Amino acid sequence: MSHFIQVENLSKRFRGLAALNNVSFTVDQGEVLGIIGPNGAGKTTLFNCMAGTLPATSGKVTFSDVDVTGWTDTKLANFGLVRTFQLMRPFGSMTVLENVNVAALVKNKDHKEAEKIAKNVLERVGLDHYSHRRSRDLPTAALKRLELARALALSPTVLLLDEVLAGLVPVERAPVIDLLKKIRDEGTTLLFVEHVMQAVMQLSDKVLVLNHGQRLALGTPSEVSSNSEVIEAYLGDEISNA
């Protein structure tokens, strides 16, 4: 049976160092997959390979029955697989609305349509009161949402989120987690790399644990958090605190 997203034996070598070693997993449509692992486990490499930023050394990624291995991020985005960046990258001199508008214009050549979509997204994301503010001037929490808003304006089928909660203080996290829940409820498939365990446990349908570039475990949040190997990998820290 073919799944919505299939990653088969993905490997990435950097001059002899295997950052990723034969990682395989699948994701069904509408699922939320959290990707965790200790530092250096290969999460970022996996993310970048899937997002088209890095070419994998070997292996295959299939999305909706199409082999997308080696596709650039531009091509993937047009196909419905959109990534966000951990370090926010707003189009600084443009306003918030213009930022999202640009994204909306990618799939909608008509300006009126694009603007409607942009405004709609800003409302969903809760940034509409910032619409005409220059994006360069926004606080971190708002910038995170702007990243999300831009991605959403592309009506993605799959969202790849790169540590979307990084840089946020706990009180800022809850609204973002709620937003992600909303996005999930709308049917978007989410893959997210995250260190904040609480979020991973709350949001994920499945959790993929990486260690030393290899798949250590894949299962529901409760399965994974009681997996002794996983706990050992983390030295018992974060999971028991989640």
Partner 1 sequence: MSIQTPMVDISPRHIWSDKNVIALLIGIVVLVPFPLVFGASQEAIAIRVMIIGILGISWNIMSGYGGMFSFGHAAYFGIGAYSSSVMLVNFDISPWIGMLVGMGLAALFGVIIGYLSFRYKLRGTYFALATFAFAEMLRIIVMSADALNAGVGYHIPLITESSWWLMQFPSGSPNYFWLGLTLLGASLLISILFVRSRAGQFVIAIREDESAAASLGIPVLKFKLIAISVSGAVGAIAGVFYTQYYLFIDPDLAFGASRSIEAILAPVVGGVGTIWGPIVGSSVLAPLTDITAALLRNPPGPLGFLEGRSGLDIMLYAILIIVMILFLPKGIFGTIKEKVSRK
- 82 makes contact with partner 1 (CB under 8 A): yes
Helix (H, G, I), strand (E, B) or coil at 28: coil
Among 115, 128, 172, 205, binds partner 1 (CB under 8 A): 115
Interaction residues for partner 1, span 22-81 (CB under 8 A):
51, 72-74, 77-78
What does the chain come to in residues? 242
Shortest distance (Å) from residue 153 CB to partner 1: 8
| Interacting residue with partner 1 among 3, 6, 68, 105 (CB under 8 A) | 105
Name which of 101 and 211 has its Cβ closer to partner 1: 101
User: Any contact of residue 103 with partner 1 (CB under 8 A)?
Assistant: yes
The continuous run of DSSP H or E covering 4 comes out as: none
Binding mask 131-150 for partner 1 (x = CB under 8 A): -x-x---------------x
Span from 10-18, 95-103, 117-125, 213-221 in contact with partner 1 (CB under 8 A)? 95-103
54, 117, 151, 203: which one binds partner 1 (CB under 8 A): 151
What are the φ/ψ torsions at residue 145 (nearest 5 degrees)? -65, -35
Residues near 18 by beta carbon (within 8 Å), at least 6 away in sequence: 11, 12, 213
181 scored as a contact of partner 1 (CB under 8 A): no
What is d(CA 25, CA 48) in angstroms, rounded to the nearest whole number?
16
Q: By C-beta, is 107 or 173 nearer to partner 1?
A: 107
Among 65, 112, 187, 228, indicate the residue that binds partner 1 (CB under 8 A): 112
**CA dihedral defined by 194, 199, 205, 210, rounded to 10 degrees?**
30
Question: How many Å apart are CA 51 and CA 46, to the nearest integer?
Answer: 8
**Residue 74 or 226 with smaller CB distance to partner 1:** 74
Q: Does 107 bind partner 1 (CB under 8 A)?
A: yes
Q: Edge-to-edge strand order for the sheet containing 58-63? A: 17-27, 5-14, 58-63, 66-67
Q: How far apart are CA 76 and CA 54, in angstroms?
A: 13
The long-range contacts involving 216-219, CB below 8 angstroms and separated by at least 24 positions, are: 216/37, 218/25
Give the footprint of partner 1 on this chain (CB under 8 A): 51, 72-74, 77-78, 82-83, 85, 89-95, 98-99, 101-103, 105-107, 109, 111-112, 115, 132, 134, 150-151, 154
